[in-house]
Amino acid sequence: MFIWEISGNTPDRCIRAAEDPIEYTLPGLLQMQMNRKIGLTFATALRAFLRQDPDIILVGEIRDKETASIATEAALTGHMLFSTLHTNDAPGTVSRLTEMDVEPFMISSSLVCVCAQRLIRRLCKTCKQSYVPKGNEAKIINRAIQYNDDPIYKANADGCPACGSSGYKGRIGIHEVMGTSEELIKGINEEVETTELKRIAIVNGMRTLHQDSLYKVKAGTTSMEEAIAAVPPDLKDLDALRGVKSKSGNSVATDSKPRKSRAKSKVKESSKTELST
């Protein structure tokens, strides 16, 4: 929904969407329902859209080589294209697209922004219990975000009638937004490892899923236990990165290694993360 808000659904813009299923019917744009039985896939819909010269295209999901290839070409030929794909985190999008045979230079020149998202449980407002984190918990939160020893909250083991005795009620999204930058384009073109792309993105200001989940812990929205279960700590070298940033602005460590040896099994299609490119 937010795509229409940020891109501007006005009469002078031609917007085409290939969806499976169409969840919300929206005025002012054409939404096409996919139907495999008659051969109407994301790839065929995309090809049909390109003949109509739209300004903005949405492809429900990129999950095969054909769709990936046409989507990249569409993005390179003056169309704003939004889509989703399944990876572990935002930088993983690059290797996922490479897996689908998209050339690195095509990815680097067409990718504008990636937002990874995951859902975590919210603490029950009625029965959550405050405490001051110590030991390993304090270490994890201090390393990931700026934390000033304020109390945080944990789930009440017995719960209450409001949360059905679970201690949690509802869910909230955690996000990781990776915008493009000169260093990132260089990294993608040089086929560096996903971890190196992640380092570059962090140095350029990306807040990771792990960090965002801990900001939600700090705000009392969720518990440490839930945050760590959803996204394990991944920032062993964050201090080093901060050091790099403070010394030389946005420069990145130059020990980039080629991604050529990357194992294909690294990308988990079953991952919970969904990305919008």
**Contacting residues toward Zn ion, per CB under 5 A:** 124, 126-127, 159-160, 162-163
Listed in sequence order, the residues at least 6 apart from 150 whose beta carbon sits closer than 8 Å to its beta carbon are 132, 218
Radius of gyration over alpha carbons of the chain, in Å?
A: 21
Which lies closer to Zn ion via its Cβ, residue 35 or residue 126? 126
Tokens of 109: 């020149």
Which lies closer to Zn ion via its Cβ, residue 130 or residue 250? 130
Which lies closer to Zn ion via its Cβ, residue 96 or residue 216? 216
Min dist CB 217 to Zn ion, Å, is 18
Residue closest to 83 by CA, chosen among 3, 24, 178, 181 = 3
Min dist CB 164 to Zn ion, Å, is 8
Min dist CB 125 to Zn ion, Å, is 8
Min dist CB 29 to Zn ion, Å, is 42
Which lies closer to Zn ion via its Cβ, residue 77 or residue 126? 126
Which lies closer to Zn ion via its Cβ, residue 97 or residue 127? 127
274-276 and 113-123: which strand pairing? antiparallel
Tally the residues of the chain: 277
Cα angle for residues 143, 244, 187 (degrees, 5° grid): 105
DSSP state of 64: S
Which lies closer to Zn ion via its Cβ, residue 155 or residue 202? 155
32-54 burial code (b ≥16 CB/10 A, e <16): bebeeeeebbbbbbbeebbeeeb
The region, left, alpha or beta by phi > 0 then psi within -120 to 50, assigned to residue 56 is: beta
Q: What is the dihedral of CA 96, 76, 191, 83, to 10 degrees?
A: -20
Which lies closer to Zn ion via its Cβ, residue 151 or residue 258? 151
Residue closest to 112 by CA, chosen among 71, 159, 150 = 71
Min dist CB 229 to Zn ion, Å, is 19
Min dist CB 226 to Zn ion, Å, is 14
